[in-house]
């Protein structure tokens, strides 16, 4: 079992890790998710009804996958990440029309109610705390604004759960060691323990000022999409 960083060091450890894996991040995402991650992102953006009248925040934007999809829908897009190498990779992929900002999810450099949609992909478990991040998202979203989260999950079915455990905790780290960074791809599966279990995330969202919370499972429960509306 990978030893996870404590709260006091987590931000620095995670930032350093994402700076290291930035060059191979997209390729590894496609491999690990069997190519489904882009389909899930497009489906979530469609579920949020993103269009030309929207201003979209892509939180923890990484190399810009969500930002690019939202821009293709005609939205004005801002991508924010705290890892400099990830933002450099995003700048190499994204058109100048997409604003890319280095910043902290706990202190978003955006005015109250300044965005109509916020999305985040596979990032919740990398924040030091989830509720303060949700509170910041609620602050920058206008009333009625939409939130979309894409994250890992764990199947509920016994056989699927076992197969997922073998793949996620054994095969993914082995692939990471072979193709990217072994330490990082031991951390990423292990970091799923940072996510609240069961209805915990729904409760956090409700307490953070969100309503109409809906969850959709992907790949037998290995991943999840959550949509919510800012009250």
pLDDT digits (tens, 9 = 90+) for 122-158: 999 999 999 999 999 999 999 999 999 999 999 988 8
Beta carbons within 10 angstroms of residue 178's beta carbon: 9
CA 145 to chain centre: 18
Give φ, ψ of 41 to 5 degrees: -65, -45
Cα–Cα distance for residue pair 221/219, rounded to 1 Å:
5
Quick one: 199 exposed, middle or buried, by C-beta within 10 A (0-12, 13-18, 19+)? exposed
pLDDT band at 6 (very low <50, low <70, confident <90, very high): confident
The pLDDT of residue 2? 67
Write down how long the chain is.
231
Q: Which domains does the chain have, with CATH numbers?
A: 7-230 (3.40.50.150)
The pLDDT tens digits for 38-61 are 999 999 999 999 999 999 999 999
Beta carbons within 10 angstroms of residue 5's beta carbon: 16
User: Looking at residues 4-24, what average pLDDT do you find?
Assistant: 93
Beta carbons within 10 angstroms of residue 27's beta carbon: 11
Cα–Cα distance for residue pair 132/81, rounded to 1 Å:
16
- pTM across the whole model: 0.95
Ordered strands of the 210-218 beta sheet: 99-102, 76-81, 55-59, 115-121, 141-152, 223-230, 210-218
Alpha-carbon distances, residue 17 vs 5, 84, 97, 123, 226 (angstroms): 12, 11, 28, 13, 26
Percent helix, percent strand, percent coil in the chain, to nearest 5: 50, 25, 25
Q: Which two tokens stand for residue 61?
A: 């934007």
Cα–Cα distance for residue pair 162/170, rounded to 1 Å:
12
């Amino acid at each position: 079992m990978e030893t996870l960083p404590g709260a006091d060091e987590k931000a620095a450890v995670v930032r350093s890790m994402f700076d290291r894996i930035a060059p191979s991040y997209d390729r590894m995402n496609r491999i690990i998710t069997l190519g489904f991650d882009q389909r899930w992102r497009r489906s979530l953006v469609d579920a949020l009804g993103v269009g030309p009248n929207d201003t979209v925040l892509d939180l923890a934007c990484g190399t810009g996958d969500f930002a690019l999809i939202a821009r293709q829908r005609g939205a004005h897009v801002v991508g924010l990440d705290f890892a400099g190498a990830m933002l450099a990779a995003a700048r190499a992929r994204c058109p100048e029309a997409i604003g890319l900002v280095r910043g902290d999810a706990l202190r978003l450099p955006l005015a109250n109610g300044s965005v109509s949609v916020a999305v985040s992909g596979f990032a919740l478990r990398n924040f030091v705390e989830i509720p303060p991040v949700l509170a910041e998202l609620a602050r920058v979203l206008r009333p009625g604004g939409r939130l979309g989260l894409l994250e890992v999950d764990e199947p509920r079915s016994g056989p699927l759960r076992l197969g997922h455990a073998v793949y996620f905790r054994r095969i993914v780290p082995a692939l990471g060691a072979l193709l990217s960074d072994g330490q990082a791809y031991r951390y990423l599966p292990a970091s799923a323990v940072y996510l609240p279990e069961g209805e915990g995330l729904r409760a956090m969202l409700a307490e953070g000022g969100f309503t109409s919370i809906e969850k959709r499972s992907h790949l037998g429960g290995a991943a999840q999409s959550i949509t919510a509306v800012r009250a």
